[in-house]
Copies of this chain bind each other. A is one copy, B any other.
Amino acid sequence: MEELFATEKTRKILPIIKDFLVNEIYPLENAENLTGKFSKVAKVLDEKRALVKSLGLWGLQHSEEEGGLGLTLCEFGQVSELLASTPFGHYTFNCQAPDIGNMELIARYASDDIKKRFLHPLIEGKIRSCFSMTEPEFAGSNPINLGTTAVREGDEYVINGHKWFTSSADGAAFAVVMAITNPDAAPHQRASQIIVPTDTKGFTLVRNISIMGEASDHWASHAEVRYENVRVPITNLIDEEGMGFKLAQERLGPGRIHHCMRWIGIAERAFDLMCKYAASRSMGDGTVLGEKQAIQFWIAESRAEIDAARLLVLRTAQNIDNFGASAVRNQISEIKFFCAKMMLQVLDHAIQIHGAYGMTDDLLLSFWYRHERAARIYDGADEVHKSALARSILSNYGLNKKKK
């Protein structure tokens, strides 16, 4: 716990959550659950959700009016780090991406009708959702390029398009789809976000894409989806036409805090595993692994990098709470690439310290090694964020050029 950002609420709930995770969730981390289909373990986690509710911890990220705990972003970030110490934490607390982002979005920007039909069952954990933006034909680093269209016909949108990396689509009740509604508008005002129930005719889940050796399913799936003359009522539009890009941006401010704190949680757990192993693994000559200088360096460097990352992210979260995301856009850019790099570096050290054991699914590390390499890619590749941050800085020095 970082004293600098501790609040009454975090002091109270973090220890309870920690206990819950250690006792109820960590024991589920075995090769059986860490490989293969997610639906196997989802069953057990769904049972654990009852326990979360009974502890009064359901709805961490929701306002008190919505029946949640009313945590600030900075407080939620600290909880999120803890949940991320296990691959099953966020799902168990129903604050997993992309549902958490969809809930935030709908709560702020959608009509009451939509809230009733889609938000409330999401909050209760009765359904899941997905977010359908990325397209195989277009470079992800240029989000204004979209091939998917939503053409208005009477009271309906007719949607056609091809998406992939529609995460968690398998089993989701609905998708939030990014589609071009206003092709003649300025580039950033062409797209809209529209809710499409997955049982709508013309919605096809082509496949759960096999990623890093495994297609998985359920919440842990990443789908290729086709929209072929999919018709939904125009009331399924979130906010207004042409706001799609802006909403996507809106989502990213808190979304990046979520990601970064999750990565810090992963790094902290990997750090814990490496220290445990280093302190106890006998080298067969009367010494233990942790006496090696190289191991010590990795531990020291990891400690400093994790601490630095946490301070950067919580500072940014607090600033978003206080001043809004647009006031600290540069800070939001810098945490993305800083934390992704840090987390992957710590994981790499942790694996190396464990040797061959670190390759096996008997340990958590290989799970994260496979699944979190993507941290440097999704939600804007590192390269995109670095250029964006630099251009923003350089504009203060008089440079006003578009990206090259």
Chain A positions within 8 Å of B, measured between CB atoms, are: 3-4, 31, 34-35, 134, 136, 138-142, 144-145, 164-165, 209-215, 275-276, 278-285, 287-297, 299-301, 303-305, 307-309, 311-312, 315, 318-319, 330-331, 333-335, 337-338, 351-352, 355-362, 366-367, 369-370, 373-374, 376-378, 381-383, 385-387, 389-391, 393-394, 396-399, 401, 404
Residues of B contacting A305 in the complex (Cβ-Cβ under 8 angstroms): 338
Of the candidates B284, B351, B357, which one forms a contact with A145 in the assembled complex, judged by CB atoms under 8 Å apart? B284
* Minimum CB–CB distance for A360 against chain B, Å: 5
Copies of this polypeptide in the complex: 4
Report Cα–Cα, A283/B284, bound state, in Å: 25
Other CB < 8 Å A-B pairs besides A139-B289, A287-B404, A352-B381, 6 of them? A213-B361, A213-B366, A276-B397, A299-B393, A307-B312, A404-B404
Contacts A297-B386, A311-B308, A383-B292 given; does A397 touch B275 at CB 8 Å:
yes
- Cα-based distance from A305 to B222 in the complex (angstroms): 33
Interface of A is mostly: helix
Between A and B, 7 residue pairs with Cβ closer than 8 Å are A3-B319, A211-B359, A276-B397, A280-B397, A287-B401, A300-B337, A303-B393
Q: Shortest Cβ distance from A230 into chain B, in angstroms?
A: 23
Which of B291, B373, B391 has a CB less than 8 Å from the CB of A369? B373
A394 adjacent to B299 (CB under 8 Å)? yes
Report if A334-B374 is in contact (Cβ < 8 Å); known contacts: A294-B293, A394-B290, A397-B276: no
Asked if B288 and A399 sit within 8 Å, CB to CB, the answer is yes
Question: Complex: how many Å from CA A285 to CA B402?
Answer: 11
**Of the residues B35, B307, B374, contact of A214 by C-beta under 8 Å:** B35
A301 touches B138 (CB 8 A): no
Chain B residues whose CB sits within 8 angstroms of the CB of A276 once the complex forms = 397
User: With A212-B366, A300-B389, A338-B308 in contact, do A278 and B399 touch (Cβ < 8 Å)?
Assistant: yes
B293 engages A383 (CB within 8 Å): yes
Cβ of A338: which chain B residues have Cβ within 8 Å of it?
304-305, 308
Contact B213 A139 (CB under 8 A): no
State whether B334 touches A303 (Cβ < 8 A).
yes
Expressed in whole angstroms, the minimum distance between the Cβ of A333 and any Cβ of chain B is 7
Question: Is the beta-carbon distance between B284 and A209 smaller than 8 angstroms?
Answer: no
Chain B nearest CB, measured from A81 CB (Å): 16
A333/B300 contact (C-beta < 8 A), A165-B356, A381-B352 known: yes
- Give the residue of B134, B209, B359, B396 whose beta carbon is less than 8 angstroms from that of A360: B209
Q: Please indicate the chain B residues that have their CB under 8 angstroms from the CB of A390 in the complex.
A: 290, 295-297, 299-300, 303
Contact status A361-B294, CB under 8 Å? no
Task: Find chain B residues with CB under 8 A from A283 CB.
Answer: 139, 141-142
User: Within 8 Å CB of A396, what residues of B?
Assistant: 275
CA distance in complex: A296, B312 (Å) = 20
Neighbour of A140 across the interface among B4, B355, B366, B370, CB < 8 A: B355
* Alpha-carbon distance between A275 and B397 when the two chains are bound, in angstroms: 7
Across the interface, which residues of B come within 8 angstroms of A140, CB to CB?
Answer: 355-356
Contact of A386 among B285, B296, B381, B394 (CB under 8 A): B296
Q: How far is the CA of A91 from the CA of B216 in the complex (A)?
A: 28
Cβ of A92 to closest chain B Cβ, rounded Å = 21
Return chain B residues, CB-CB under 8 Å to A377: 352, 355-356, 358-359
Q: Is the CB of B385 within 8 A of A300?
A: yes
Q: Which residue of B lies closest to A216 (CB)?
A: B213
For A404, give the chain B residue with the smallest CB separation: B291
Among B34, B139, B301, B312, contact of A304 (Cβ-Cβ < 8 Å) = B312
Select one of B285, B319, B359 contacting A142, CB under 8 A: B285
Q: CA separation between A298 and B393, bound complex, in Å?
A: 12
- Known A-B contacts A312-B311, A352-B381, A397-B275; A391 and B213 likewise in contact (beta carbons under 8 Å): no
Q: Is the CB of A278 within 8 A of B213?
A: no
Given the known interface contacts A278-B394, A299-B390, A404-B292, the answer about A284 and B213 at a Cβ–Cβ threshold of 8 Å is no
